[in-house]
């Protein structure tokens, strides 16, 4: 089993760390055909960790051919469901056994706090793979109630070769969300991690192979979006692409699909998520701790981050007092490899500069800075921005309108329920929302009125593995991650109509 999380265990694991820096294609680690590599950096120090294979269209094509061969041969797509299930369960076991190593790779490459990686991200990845594995032999197909004299079957078949193009903010967890249902339903997969965070993903590919996922079924190609990512989007023999990332690049995948083979596209994109606090809430301590988690979990580099706090005027001052007190006592920014830290580094220098420029814009637009607002720990060479809260935000304020993907919370007030709903929905996004009220009628009315894929009531979160995750409006398109609904998305539905004699 994986070891406990202590400074000693982390240091010992780092001493023995090996990087899987090549592409994983057809059951083997291989360099990019061009021989090109790129640097991957530790955002907490600004230093290079290692070089990775820079895959491009040629590598994607080789991987797709291997994936198609495996699919047609049926080594996975037609494997007995119980056997496929057992292999995926072994894969989940191996993820758990190697939790510390995977958590360190994530913390080093993404700047995420190691305690989060170790206690949340990697266990969630294992759990997702295991949960989808267990669904394999529990979901039935259908016989439809049609005329006598006919036997009408509706069956699900794997769609074929699936591309998965992933973001840097939850590298392993997003592998789980895409790979779990895609593999469970018998597909072959071409997976491209974000350029900034490939090391946990290449290691996961190795663990999947060790667990028994046959050669060619899972291929991992590190590389740039504009080369490897685009080649996946444009490839004529990929049947579906599952994408998580910015809305801007999500749009490109729709264009790639239209310009190539009309592959299906599932998009999980950005969010500008409201946290609405009604005046009847009694436990401001609990509200405050959730407001902070919503805004600053993963340094706010989270598509479901609750970056707009919409609070009733009568309780705003009391809530903000509690928020600031808990921020001071419960949130520690520092080295992501320190198990006590719960705020790490932002992903890269250019992203930090973007976040800081939003902060400057908010100051220039006259919002009231309550805390944070400047880069910290610069001497480390890393990209650290502390939790930053602006009061007196307006619907037209830039930090209210645009996704920042950093630790910046905008606070707005309202007087009536109608006003709160209008503010919550005043965005082109619709991924998530949280709502606080002790009144059942208010909860029903408002959760129905808020346009978002997930509304959490009296808590912040993303549901669990049983609940679908994805967005309304420009937050998403084509489907959902997690839950049994995700299985259907990676399948074609086939009708077989049998005229009986
Ligand atoms: N919804 C979410 O979870 C995420 C949202 N974002 C948003 O996107 C912003 C930019 O972050 P990025 O990592 O640059 O996200 P991105 O959307 O540019 O990248 C996501 C994935 O798409 C690939 N990609 C990039 N350009 C591509 C192209 N032209 N063709 C095909 N694939 C391409 C990337 O290599 C990566 O694997 C963030 O600041 C944030 O606002 C970023 C990551 C996750
Ligand atoms: N929070 C998990 C999904 C995402 O941020 O991409």
pLDDT tens-digit series, residues 12-40: 999 999 999 999 999 999 999 999 999 99
Residue 370 is predicted with a pLDDT of 98
- Of all protein residues, the one whose alpha carbon is nearest to atom 13 of ligand 1 is 167
pLDDT of residue 500 exceeding 90: yes
Q: Which residues line ligand 2 (CB under 6 A)?
A: 167, 169-170, 244, 302-304, 462
pLDDT by residue (tens digit) across 128-171?
999 999 999 999 999 999 999 999 999 999 999 999 999 999 99
pLDDT by residue (tens digit) across 284-343?
999 999 999 999 999 999 999 999 999 999 999 999 999 999 999 999 999 999 999 999
Task: Supply φ then ψ for residue 243, to 5 degrees.
Answer: -125, 135
Task: Supply φ then ψ for residue 166, to 5 degrees.
Answer: -120, 160
pLDDT of residue 384 exceeding 90: yes
Q: Specify the ligand 1 atom closest to the Cα of 195.
A: 35
Q: Specify the ligand 2 atom closest to the Cα of 245.
A: 6
Give SS3 for 168.
Answer: coil
Q: Which of 101, 109, 268, 403 is catalytic?
A: 268
Ligand 2 centroid – CA 303 distance (Å): 5
pLDDT of residue 264 exceeding 90: yes
Q: Is 233 in the pocket of ligand 1 (CB under 6 A)?
A: yes
- Of all protein residues, the one whose alpha carbon is nearest to atom 4 of ligand 2 is 303
Task: Please name which ligand lies nearest the alpha carbon of 460.
Answer: 2
Residue 103 is predicted with a pLDDT of 98
- Of all protein residues, the one whose alpha carbon is nearest to atom 4 of ligand 1 is 245
pLDDT of residue 388 exceeding 60: yes
Are 52 and 29 within 8 A, CB to CB? no
Ligand 2 centroid – CA 251 distance (Å): 18
pLDDT of residue 2 exceeding 90: no
Are 448 and 289 within 8 A, CB to CB? no
Q: Is 235 in the pocket of ligand 1 (CB under 6 A)?
A: no
Nearest to 187 by CA among 313, 50, 78: 78
pLDDT by residue (tens digit) across 401-457?
999 999 999 999 999 999 999 999 999 999 999 999 999 999 999 999 999 999 999
Task: Please name which ligand lies nearest the alpha carbon of 124.
Answer: 2
Residue 501 is predicted with a pLDDT of 87
Ligand 2 centroid – CA 248 distance (Å): 16
Q: Is 436 exposed, middle or buried (0-12, 13-18, 19+ CB in 10 A)?
A: buried
Percent of the chain whose pLDDT exceeds 90: 99
Mutate to test the pocket of ligand 1, among 167, 198, 429 (most ligand atoms within 8 A of CB): 167
Q: Specify the ligand 1 atom closest to the Cα of 232.
A: 31
- Of all protein residues, the one whose alpha carbon is nearest to atom 33 of ligand 1 is 225
pLDDT by residue (tens digit) across 222-256?
999 999 999 999 999 999 999 999 999 999 999 99
Q: Is 404 in the pocket of ligand 1 (CB under 6 A)?
A: no
Ligand 2 centroid – CA 70 distance (Å): 30
Residues 351-374: what's their mean pLDDT? 98
Quote the mean pLDDT of the chain.
97
Residue 131 is predicted with a pLDDT of 98
Task: Please name which ligand lies nearest the alpha carbon of 170.
Answer: 2
- Of all protein residues, the one whose alpha carbon is nearest to atom 3 of ligand 2 is 303
Q: Specify the ligand 1 atom closest to the Cα of 193.
A: 37
Give the model's confidence band at 4: pLDDT under 50 very low, under 70 low, under 90 confident, else very high. Answer: confident
Q: How far is CA 140 from CA 78, 81, 155, 160, 242, in A?
A: 16, 12, 9, 20, 24
Residue 268 annotated in active site: yes
- What is the DSSP secondary-structure string of 379-443? GGTS-B---EEEES--TT-HHHHS---SSEEEEEEESSHHHHHHHHH-SSEESEEEEE-S-HHHH
Q: Is 312 in the pocket of ligand 1 (CB under 6 A)?
A: no
- Of all protein residues, the one whose alpha carbon is nearest to atom 10 of ligand 1 is 246
Residue 201 is predicted with a pLDDT of 98
The Cα 173–Cα 107 span in angstroms is 13
Q: Specify the ligand 2 atom closest to the Cα of 303.
A: 5
Give SS3 for 161.
Answer: strand
pLDDT by residue (tens digit) across 63-110?
999 999 999 999 999 999 999 999 999 999 999 999 999 999 999 999
Task: Please name which ligand lies nearest the alpha carbon of 176.
Answer: 2
Give SS3 for 312.
Answer: strand
Residue 274 is predicted with a pLDDT of 98
Mutate to test the pocket of ligand 1, among 43, 202, 245 (most ligand atoms within 8 A of CB): 245
Q: Specify the ligand 2 atom closest to the Cα of 302.
A: 5
Nearest to 239 by CA among 315, 290, 188: 188
pLDDT of residue 1 exceeding 60: no
pLDDT by residue (tens digit) across 213-223?
999 999 999 99
Q: Is 168 in the pocket of ligand 1 (CB under 6 A)?
A: yes
- Of all protein residues, the one whose alpha carbon is nearest to atom 1 of ligand 2 is 302
Q: Specify the ligand 2 atom closest to the Cα of 167.
A: 6
Q: Is 169 in the pocket of ligand 1 (CB under 6 A)?
A: yes
Task: Please name which ligand lies nearest the alpha carbon of 128.
Answer: 2
DSSP state of 160: S
ipTM of the complex: 0.95
Ligand 1 centroid – CA 383 distance (Å): 19
């Amino acid at each position: 089993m994986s070891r406990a999380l202590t400074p000693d265990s982390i240091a010992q694991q780092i001493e023995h760390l090996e990087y899987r820096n090549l592409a994983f294609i057809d059951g083997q680690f291989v360099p990019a055909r061009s021989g090109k590599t790129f640097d991957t950096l530790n955002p907490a120090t600004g230093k290079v960790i290692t070089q990775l294979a820079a895959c491009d269209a040629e590598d994607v094509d080789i991987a797709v051919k291997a994936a198609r061969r495996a699919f047609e041969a049926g080594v996975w797509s037609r494997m007995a469901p119980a056997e496929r299930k057992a292999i995926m369960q072994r894969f989940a076991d191996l993820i758990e056994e190697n939790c510390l190593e995977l958590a360190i790779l994530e913390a080093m490459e993404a700047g995420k706090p190691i305690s989060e990686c170790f206690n949340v991200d990697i266990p969630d990845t294992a759990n997702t793979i295991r949960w989808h594995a267990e669904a394999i032999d529990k979901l039935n197909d259908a016989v439809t109630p049609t005329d006598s004299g006919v036997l009408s079957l509706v069956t699900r078949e794997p769609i074929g070769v699936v591309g998965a193009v992933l973001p840097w903010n939850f590298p392993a967890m997003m592998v789980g969300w895409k790979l779990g249902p895609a593999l469970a339903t018998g597909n072959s997969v071409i997976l491209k991690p974000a350029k900034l965070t490939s090391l946990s993903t290449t290691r996961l590919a190795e663990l999947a192979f060790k667990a028994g996922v046959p050669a060619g079924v899972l291929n991992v190609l590190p590389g740039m979006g504009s080369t490897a990512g685009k080649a996946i989007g444009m490839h004529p023999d990929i049947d579906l692409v599952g994408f998580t990332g910015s809305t801007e690049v999500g749009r490109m995948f729709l264009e790639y699909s239209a310009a190539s083979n009309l592959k299906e596209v599932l998009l999980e994109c950005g969010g500008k998520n409201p946290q609405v606090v009604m005046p009847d809430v009694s436990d401001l301590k609990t509200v405050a701790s959730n407001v902070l988690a919503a805004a600053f979990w993963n340094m706010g580099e989270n598509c479901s981050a609750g970056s707009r706090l919409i609070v009733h005027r009568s309780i705003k001052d009391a809530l903000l007092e509690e928020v600031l007190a808990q921020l001071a006592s419960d949130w520690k920014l520092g080295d992501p490899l320190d198990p006590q830290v719960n705020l790490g580094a932002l992903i890269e220098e250019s992203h930090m500069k973007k976040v800081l420029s939003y902060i400057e814009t908010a100051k220039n637009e006259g919002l009231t800075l309550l805390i944070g607002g400047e880069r910290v720990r610069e001497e480390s060479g890393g990209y650290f921005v502390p939790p930053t809260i602006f009061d007196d935000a307006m619907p037209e304020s830039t930090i209210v309108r645009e996704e920042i993907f950093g630790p910046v919370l905008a606070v707005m007030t309202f007087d009536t329920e109608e006003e709160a709903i209008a503010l919550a929905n005043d965005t082109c996004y619709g991924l998530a929302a949280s709502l606080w009220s002790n009144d059942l009628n208010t909860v029903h009315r408002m959760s129905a009125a808020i346009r978002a894929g997930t509304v959490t009531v009296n808590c912040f979160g993303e549901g669990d593995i049983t609940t679908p995750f994805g967005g309304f409006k420009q937050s998403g398109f084509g489907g959902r991650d997690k839950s049994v609904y995700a299985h259907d998305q990676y399948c074609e539905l086939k009708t077989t109509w049998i005229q009986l004699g």
